[in-house]
Structure 1
Amino acid sequence: MAAISPEPPATSSEQTIQSRETPQPWSGPREGEGPLDPIYVFLMIAVPIIVGALFTYDHRNQGVRITFIILCGAMPAKDSTFPTQIERNMDSESFTYTSIPPGRNFRLLRILPGASDDALACEVFVSDLDNSTPYTALSYVWGNPDKVGNLELSGHACRITRSLSDGLRRLRKPDEAQVAWADAICINQNDDIEKGHQVDLMGDIYDNAHHVVVWLGPDPTTSASEAFRCLQTINYKLYTKTDKEYFYPDEKEMGTVYMKTEADPEPRAMSRPVGRRSVHRSVLGEKGTDCVGRLFDLSWFSRVWVLQEVGLAGSATAIWGDSSIEFGEIASFIWNVYYTEELRHALGDEITQKLSGAPLYSVWNVWSTYEKKESWIYRTPLLRSCAELIAGQCSIDFVLVLEASRYFNATNQLDHVYAFLGHPKARNPVTKAPWLQANYSLDVQEQHRLLAASLSQDSLNFLVQAHQTEESLRLESGYPSWVPMWNEKTENHADAFWEAWDASLRKEEGKTFKTYADGHRLRVSGLIIGEIDQFTRTMESSDFDVEKDFGGLLIDLCWDLAGRRPNPYSPKEVLAAFASTLSCHYKIRGNQPLDGRERVVEQLAGYCMHLNNGFYQAHLVPKHGDGFWNLNTVLEVGKSFTPSFKSHAVNRRFFNTTDGYWGMGPSAMQSGDICAVLLGADVPFVLRPKGDAGEYQVVGQCYMYNFMDGQAVMASRAGESGYDEREIILV
């Protein structure tokens, strides 16, 4: 969250924003005063330096946020506002926050009218959240704390970050006051109790806002107008299906094509055929790509608090410099980049990779999951379809929302969790109590443990976010393996999956399972379904580069391991089991169009036609009168295999168990680890026996064909041997 800093330095015990009457610039001794006392000069220079040094020590060792302003008083410059007598600083008035009354009350900011070059003046007042006057919420980044702006707050001079000052100026009008909310001013940042209470209300604060303005910052390179033009044009062309154009390729593009027949054996040049190509490159032009890249380089897109601030908005407008755009255009562009191969190619790898991180998780995991029907998401056709797709195929829970947390930055590491407490899924679906209350006195490890223990009351799906390395499993760090670190993204990070499966029948039967968190231990129940035997090397993102046939070479790697041990699959099931394991296939819910997503072997066939023809010829060519794959398989269906394979395989290994079952599991696995269905989790897990009998470390989630939709639970109920329910203690 952003911070407001006082103009004169305050003592560390004060929880006030100090200000004073506007003084005259210091310009040496006044007429008649005579020369300054040398002792006074010494004190005026030395004291601020000493105080600054002390506060710097406190900042580095105790975490106290002290701004650059404290250090600026060492030597008064020509335009310094330091008073000529030390006593005048002591007599200055100070702005002091009054306590917010209990209940759903919060502060608002009245921005007084003014011209663009007028001083910024505001008034702060307390309001009832449920009966407040309409207000605009400002979403912005803190910015460089060394760059400050002046603010007159309720008659007192204060200094705030330049980023906040610029954002408030964008909201100001010349002829009428504007009511706004900005966290740095409306929350007493020095009062952890108030801050925790107001953070709990922030979801409702943004939800109730009349409008949200996203202040992206200044535009020193004048890129905003061109970037916004590119986004709007590309979105429109994709939505109207006018993103392709016909053209006549020249000889350089396709060479000359010759044809000869038996009747006329002399080769003759054919007329040029008509081609069809994407218009994205022409839309981007010479400058567009760089301007779009600068847009998504802005720090706003990496700040964790923006997820809630925009996601809850009824309407949202982004402002960059002097240009503005409806925020739905930005989110639509992010979505289009993910799903449009030609657009990714036009933008290049650097921008595509940038958008596939934090921006994509913003759209998929957070903004599309608020289910606020009157929001900008549902007024944008593409994004409404996105939200409906996610709701139709995934069970939206708080774990899905938290998956985005580690892709963003936060000044306070606790905010990787607290920034999501305003989401409607941040509450127990039965008791409606919040999973966690904001409490800034906790350390990060304890916060994570408390949240994990709380989430276990509903499901164990949060375990998919516990990412381990071989080193972390060996170290006796005292950090439980079942507690995710929501503020960290490890080098071996693998995308979590759980939303579309039901390994323990938790969803189908609508039941909860008993768990018990005892300090660093979590007691659960589960079924052992296998023991890890052999596995491939860890598959990497670079394995899907063009020079490695976009992952085509991995097919042989995994197939070779799959054949090292007899498997339990029937001959007709083998290819389905193999293809499903590679892509972590799931059953399509409801009456979805038959677009090939449910035909996983056909997906693999289309993929291998292009990228591993040897495997295709050996295993996937239709035989025994089965006919041929249709043209749709060749051109379209196979495309859906690549993103699924890459998403689930990167930083994982293909493995087999001692019983011959196949799976896709964590990089940190080793022989002797077990695979288990934990009752209350929607996917299986790889666990490592540890210490006392019944104790296990969580190595990571896994996919195992024929165990993803409750088969092990049903086998246990049917009395099949080897599927006995047992207590499992996670440590």
Structure 2
Amino acid sequence: MWIDALYINQSDIEERNHEVKRMGDIFRFATRVVAWIGPTYEGSTLALAMMREIARHVVWKSNRACKPRSGCSDPSWHNFTIPLRLNKFVEIAIANVFSRSWFRRLWVLQEIQLSSPSSVIQCGREIIRWTDLQGAAMVVLSKHDDGTAGKLRQHLWEMSRICFYSKGIKLDDLFWKYHDLGCQLPHDRIYGLMNLAPSGWSSRIEPDYSLPVLDVYRDAFMAYSYHYGRLDLLPRTGVNGTGTLSSDEQWPSWVPDWTARVLDTVPPANGFNAASFSPAHAVLREPNELEVAGIRLGSVTHTYRLEIDSFADLAEYFNELGLEKIMAKEYLPGETVLDAHLHVITHSKFEDRNPSSGCPTLEQLREHILNLAQCRESRYVLTQYESNVMVGLQDSYLFITDEGYLGHCRTRGTVELGDQLFIPLGCQTPILIRSTTNNKHRSLGDCFVHGVMSGETLLGPLPANYTVQRRSGPDGVHRTKFLNNNTGGHTIGDPRLISIPFPDGWLFLKFGMEVDDPDYCPLFMNSETKEIVSYDPRMTMCALMERGVNIQTP
């Protein structure tokens, strides 16, 4: 028997350092884990009885498919269009169970997710298999209707993060989804996820609670950079507001603050690839100073604090800009400034780029906004789409650079004139940076800039017969794919690279789809040395500079 709360001396740092590394094996090899969530209280007996009843009829698969359990003849149980219609007392009881702190603790994630299928949740004397509770919760979440109590919906969404954990989750998503779960020490934001993380990264982490938290977070960032050869954690940095660890002037702006909820402009899994298949070029010059190579795209010359809550507000904003002017002015060849604004405001969330997403096409959204701007009735109902877009515009700035790029940045700070647009090599999105002293800069976080999100600054525009789309791969990761409009075929390989020869000895191997591969990971092999790398040898800093690409360090 193992009781972690009793068997680890939390006051002994050396013991804690040692035990944290083996916690994964303890839960992974346990015959059964019993997770105690507290005593019987506030209808917990009623709640767990209902969850067992639901689980008696349906099975929730790891691929998020709901199937009828053997012997269930009622199809309504696994039909998500038919709500459960729970009575008020049951809803409140279930909400009370899921409001318990156990469901918001970081260490719980590894304890229950690494455990065997026979593991259980215990509340007072009531017991339910974890897999049954997990499945029942997902069924309730999927089958709830607008009449479901708000408190229940809130706690179901929170609990779903633990239920939807996947053993194939990428490290970027692991950090993004779970770093804000409750824990005692800021070090736990890294150490508490180690045993769930891909081994290539976690093997580089040595738990040490005696270190300052800045050292722990910096080492985690550098371990990511060294292992993956990418800087995809860099966009998760920036201004996190007062009272956070990163608000300290001594905190390097390039080190993520995993104690703060990141205000992403472009959340992960949106399928952008601004630096294409290039490897990062990052050198730690001093403990808190990182030199990064990439493309500079000019300085901010105009900025506007977005304060819109609806598409009607957006239409009014376009009227203030001069609707006829932005409809006539060209942004990119064949594209107007109005369309560029629609791309930036929505992050290109159109059916054109996201097939079968339920989003409108660019043409449909343009028509909808123009109707609103000209006080005409629209034939499109975009209520949910509008709501989703508006959430992504909170705490936002639009900006224009001296090179004519239009962008969007979410930040708890400000976007100011003179801030610079920069695309680091080996990074999915651009970032904004601000000059400090001695030719150094601070990261302000990520941004969306129309016309650069698919490697255009490194490789030029796409051929006319190709379109960029966001599509899911066999591993569930959404990536940039290229649609050949003539053949209808898709490829992850960039058509702009076809005419560029490989360096001697290098050849394409395969696209990396394993959990320990970065999101954008074509694997290439040197036929002579047998070395395998997760970047395109034609996209290294030296190769780009030889082709005339102006690579700089900020």
Match of 2:114 among 301, 304, 312: 312
Question: Paired residue for 1:704?
Answer: 449
Matched, 1:614 2:372: yes
1:503–1:322 distance in 2 versus 1, CA, 3 Å: same
Q: Contact conserved, 2:312 with 2:373, CA < 8 A, in 1?
A: no
Instruction: Report the CA distance between 1:520 and its aligned residue.
Output: 1.1
1:337–1:222 distance in 2 versus 1, CA, 3 Å: closer
The amino acid across from 2:29 in the alignment is N
Q: What's the C-alpha RMSD, in Å, of the aligned pairs? A: 4.2
The amino acid across from 1:483 in the alignment is V
d(CA) in 2 for partners of 1:663 and 1:589? 20
Alignment of 1:178-257 (within 5 A): 181-226=2-47, 229=50, 233=54, 236=58, 239=66, 242=76
Match of 2:87 among 281, 285, 298: 285
Q: Contact conserved, 2:339 with 2:366, CA < 8 A, in 1?
A: no
Q: Which has the larger radius of gyration?
A: 1
Instruction: Report the CA distance between 1:329 and its aligned residue.
Output: 4.8
Question: Paired residue for 1:98?
Answer: none
Instruction: Report the CA distance between 1:446 and its aligned residue.
Output: 2.1
Instruction: Report the CA distance between 1:466 and its aligned residue.
Output: 1.8
1:182–1:718 distance in 2 versus 1, CA, 3 Å: closer
1:236–1:195 distance in 2 versus 1, CA, 3 Å: same
d(CA) in 2 for partners of 1:691 and 1:398? 34
SS at match of 1:215: strand
1:226–1:597 distance in 2 versus 1, CA, 3 Å: same
Matched, 1:444 2:216: no
SS at match of 2:93: helix
Farther-moved stretch of structure 1 (448-457 vs 638-647): 638-647
d(CA) in 2 for partners of 1:537 and 1:470? 17
1:588–1:475 distance in 2 versus 1, CA, 3 Å: same
Instruction: Report the CA distance between 1:697 and its aligned residue.
Output: 0.7
d(CA) in 2 for partners of 1:654 and 1:453? 31
Instruction: Report the CA distance between 1:525 and its aligned residue.
Output: 0.3
Structure 1 portions without partners, runs of 5+ = 1-108, 110-180, 246-276, 372-395, 544-550, 622-628
The amino acid across from 2:237 in the alignment is A
Structure 2 portions without partners, runs of 5+ = 60-64, 68-74, 461-540
Point out which structure has higher relative CO (alpha carbons under 8 A, 6+ apart): 2
SS at match of 2:36: strand
d(CA) in 1 for partners of 2:121 and 2:237? 35
1:335–1:424 distance in 2 versus 1, CA, 3 Å: same
SS at match of 1:201: helix
Alignment of 1:110-189 (within 5 A): 181-189=2-10
Match of 1:347 among 145, 148, 159: 148
1:400–1:445 distance in 2 versus 1, CA, 3 Å: same
Question: Paired residue for 2:428?
Answer: 682
1:527–1:640 distance in 2 versus 1, CA, 3 Å: farther
Match of 1:481 among 245, 253, 256: 253
The amino acid across from 2:292 in the alignment is V
d(CA) in 2 for partners of 1:656 and 1:684? 14
1:354–1:455 distance in 2 versus 1, CA, 3 Å: same
Q: Contact conserved, 1:567 with 1:659, CA < 8 A, in 2?
A: no
Q: Contact conserved, 1:581 with 1:664, CA < 8 A, in 2?
A: yes
1:469–1:415 distance in 2 versus 1, CA, 3 Å: closer
Farther-moved stretch of structure 1 (519-528 vs 236-245): 236-245
Farther-moved stretch of structure 1 (495-504 vs 410-419): 495-504
Q: Contact conserved, 1:685 with 1:700, CA < 8 A, in 2?
A: yes
Alignment of 1:661-672 (within 5 A): 661-667=405-411, 668=413, 669-672=415-418
d(CA) in 1 for partners of 2:14 and 2:296? 46
Matched, 1:652 2:396: yes
1:331–1:190 distance in 2 versus 1, CA, 3 Å: same
Question: Paired residue for 2:551?
Answer: 725
Q: Contact conserved, 2:51 with 2:136, CA < 8 A, in 1?
A: no
C-alpha deviations, 1:578-632, integer Å up to 9, x for none? 4432232479999x9x5245764267479x59xx9614977x97xxxxxxx8xxx
d(CA) in 1 for partners of 2:387 and 2:162? 19
Instruction: Report the CA distance between 1:533 and its aligned residue.
Output: 3.4
SS at match of 2:21: helix
Question: Paired residue for 2:159?
Answer: 359
Question: Paired residue for 2:356?
Answer: 595
Q: Contact conserved, 2:265 with 2:410, CA < 8 A, in 1?
A: no
SS at match of 1:346: coil
Instruction: Report the CA distance between 1:663 and its aligned residue.
Output: 2.1
1:530–1:183 distance in 2 versus 1, CA, 3 Å: same
1:723–1:405 distance in 2 versus 1, CA, 3 Å: same
d(CA) in 2 for partners of 1:461 and 1:211? 37
SS at match of 2:553: strand
Q: Contact conserved, 1:687 with 1:698, CA < 8 A, in 2?
A: yes
Alignment of 1:298-697 (within 5 A): 298-315=100-117, 316-332=119-135, 343=144, 345-356=146-157, 358-363=158-163, 367-368=165-166, 370-371=167-168, 397-425=170-198, 427-428=200-201, 434-457=203-226, 458=228, 459-469=230-240, 477-489=249-261, 493-494=263-264, 497-499=267-269, 500-506=271-277, 511-538=279-306, 543=309, 551-556=310-315, 559=318, 568-570=331-333, 572=335, 577-585=340-348, 594-596=355-357, 600-601=361-362, 604=365, 608=368, 614-615=372-373, 638=382, 641-642=385-386, 644-667=388-411, 668=413, 669-693=415-439, 695-697=440-442
Instruction: Report the CA distance between 1:297 and its aligned residue.
Output: 1.1
1:648–1:567 distance in 2 versus 1, CA, 3 Å: farther
Matched, 1:294 2:96: yes
d(CA) in 1 for partners of 2:342 and 2:187? 41
SS at match of 2:147: helix
Identity of aligned pairs, percent? Answer: 20
Q: Contact conserved, 2:95 with 2:156, CA < 8 A, in 1?
A: no
d(CA) in 2 for partners of 1:190 and 1:707? 51
C-alpha deviations, 1:4-41, integer Å up to 9, x for none? xxxxxxxxxxxxxxxxxxxxxxxxxxxxxxxxxxxxxx
The amino acid across from 2:441 in the alignment is Y
Instruction: Report the CA distance between 1:182 and its aligned residue.
Output: 2.2
1:435–1:709 distance in 2 versus 1, CA, 3 Å: farther
d(CA) in 1 for partners of 2:289 and 2:260? 22
Q: Contact conserved, 1:494 with 1:650, CA < 8 A, in 2?
A: no
C-alpha deviations, 1:508-562, integer Å up to 9, x for none? x6x443433521111110111243233443558xx4xxxxxxx334433664577
Instruction: Report the CA distance between 1:469 and its aligned residue.
Output: 5.0
Scaled by the length of structure 1, what TM-score is found? 0.53
1:199–1:719 distance in 2 versus 1, CA, 3 Å: closer
Q: Contact conserved, 1:213 with 1:319, CA < 8 A, in 2?
A: yes
C-alpha deviations, 1:353-378, integer Å up to 9, x for none? 4444x4344355xx12x23xxxxxxx
SS at match of 1:725: coil
C-alpha deviations, 1:97-143, integer Å up to 9, x for none? xxxxxxxxxxxx2xxxxxxxxxxxxxxxxxxxxxxxxxxxxxxxxxx
Instruction: Report the CA distance between 1:494 and its aligned residue.
Output: 4.3
Instruction: Report the CA distance between 1:483 and its aligned residue.
Output: 1.2
Q: Contact conserved, 1:673 with 1:689, CA < 8 A, in 2?
A: yes
1:652–1:602 distance in 2 versus 1, CA, 3 Å: same
Q: Contact conserved, 1:654 with 1:665, CA < 8 A, in 2?
A: yes
d(CA) in 1 for partners of 2:433 and 2:335? 31
